[in-house]
Amino acid sequence: DTAVSQTPKYLVTQMGNDKSIKCEQNLGHDTMYWYKQDSKKFLKIMFSYNNKELIINETVPNRFSPKSPDKAHLNLHINSLELGDSAVYFCASSQGPGEPWPQHFGDGTRLSIL
């Protein structure tokens, strides 16, 4: 069973479109995250949610809107896609802060903007 699953794995779309990436975890974790990995492989956190509550919101354009319908799901919606949004987006989950729990990552969604 996949612990953290993201769909789709690949997303190719045109500038200006709106798209969503879905993430689900079956680990029973309380905290979920979105990270962006750029073309140079640099990983940076975008958002984190703990029990459906937004905890971390880095300096991300407000075209990016995370939504957590329940603690097992964290989706990422992106409006008005731009060329610079091309990247790999990773969802992750953990048991949360305060303990040395690792973050478990999904396989990533490769977003390509034409």
Partner 1 sequence: AQKITQTQPGMFVQEKEAVTLDCTYDTSDQSYGLFWYKQPSSGEMIFLIYQGSYDEQNATEGRYSLNFQKARKSANLVISASQLGDSAMYFCAMREGMWRDKLIFGTGTRLQVFP
Supply φ then ψ for residue 59, to 5 degrees.
-75, 75
Distance CA 72, CA 87 (A): 24
Looking at the Cβ atoms of 52 and 105, the one nearer to partner 1 is 105
Note the residues at the interface with partner 1 (CB under 8 A).
31, 33, 35, 40-45, 48, 50, 55-56, 58, 88, 90, 92, 94, 96-98, 100, 102-108, 110
Q: Are 102 and 83 in contact (CB under 8 A)?
A: no
In whole angstroms, the minimum distance from the beta carbon of 27 to partner 1 comes to: 12
In whole angstroms, the minimum distance from the beta carbon of 80 to partner 1 comes to: 26
- CA distance from start to end of the chain: 34
In whole angstroms, the minimum distance from the beta carbon of 111 to partner 1 comes to: 13
